[in-house]
Amino acid sequence: MAANHVIEHPTSTGLDNRKMAMWAFLASDCMFFGSLITVYLVSHGRAMVGPFPQEIFDIPFTSVSAFVLLMSSLSMVLALGGIQRGNVQRFRIWIATTAVLGCVFLGGQIYEFTEFHHAGLTLESSIFGSAFYVLTGFHGTHVFIGVIWLLSLLLASFKPGLVIREKSLNVEMAGLYWHFVDIVWIVIFTVVYLVEA
């Protein structure tokens, strides 16, 4: 939505339209992931053939992934802080860091999926496999979309007038999305991985 205009239509609440819609979207996405997590929780214990969760989860490895995603949230606020103070250079550094951390997380997920696949866990092997891949896969898709969004912002920052202090809201929106994806992982990491181990 980054456009060449800086018209801020005044609103009845004084709050920005896009931010309002974004929070509504996040509330809606809570229900999306809530439903997916429910599906995982009620289904995964009914798997009839292995591998079972305890056998294949690698807690130390996933902890590192979770940590990486958590830290990407930190770099995201720092990027936002940068642009809010008009420091495009700092914005670029931190947004790139965030995108890289996001890619590391995705890489970890791809590695994990490959390992599990070798261990015999596939989408069709058991209901645990189905529920696990669909839940974490949808989260991964969210991360992937987020990475593209971040890279788009980075790219746009090289074109004058697109990513500037007055339009820091464009970055804030991406940030809200990114943090949300992070908190979803906080929940998944606990209820899927840690509780099982």
Report the half-sphere exposure of 74 (CA within 13 A, side-chain side).
7
Q: Which of 12, 54, 118, 160 binds another protein (CB under 8 A)?
A: 12
Q: Does 9 bind another protein (CB under 8 A)?
A: yes
4-12, 103-111, 113-121 -> range binding another protein (CB under 8 A)? 4-12
Rounded Cα gap, residues 128 and 62, in angstroms: 18
Q: Does 33 bind another protein (CB under 8 A)?
A: yes
**Could you tell me the end-to-end alpha-carbon distance of the chain, in angstroms, rounded to an integer?**
43
| Contact set for another protein, span 54-83 (CB under 8 A) | 59-60, 63, 66-67, 70-71, 73-74, 76-78, 81
Q: Letter for the amino acid at 53? A: P
In which element (H, E) is residue 6 found? none
**CA-to-CA separations, 61 to 64, 115, 129, in angstroms, rounded:** 5, 12, 19
Q: How far is the CB of 81 from another protein (least distance, A)?
A: 6
| Contact set for another protein, span 153-192 (CB under 8 A) | 175-176, 179-180, 182-183, 186-187, 189-190
Both tokens of 104, joined, read 């590391």
Q: Does 1 bind another protein (CB under 8 A)?
A: yes
Q: Does 131 bind another protein (CB under 8 A)?
A: yes
**Sign of the dihedral through C-alpha 114, 50, 66, 31:** positive
Q: Does 151 bind another protein (CB under 8 A)?
A: no
**CA-to-CA separations, 74 to 5, 81, 149, 157, 158, in angstroms, rounded:** 30, 11, 17, 20, 23
Q: Does 13 bind another protein (CB under 8 A)?
A: yes
Q: Which of 98, 126, 136, 157 binds another protein (CB under 8 A)?
A: 126
27-35, 95-103, 108-116 -> range binding another protein (CB under 8 A)? 27-35
Identity of the residue, 71 or 164, whose beta carbon is nearer to another protein in the bound complex:
71
Identity of the residue, 98 or 109, whose beta carbon is nearer to another protein in the bound complex:
98
Say how many C-beta atoms besides its own lie within 10 A of residue 183's C-beta.
15
CB 168 within 8 A of CB 83: yes
Q: Does 26 bind another protein (CB under 8 A)?
A: yes
Both tokens of 126, joined, read 């058991």
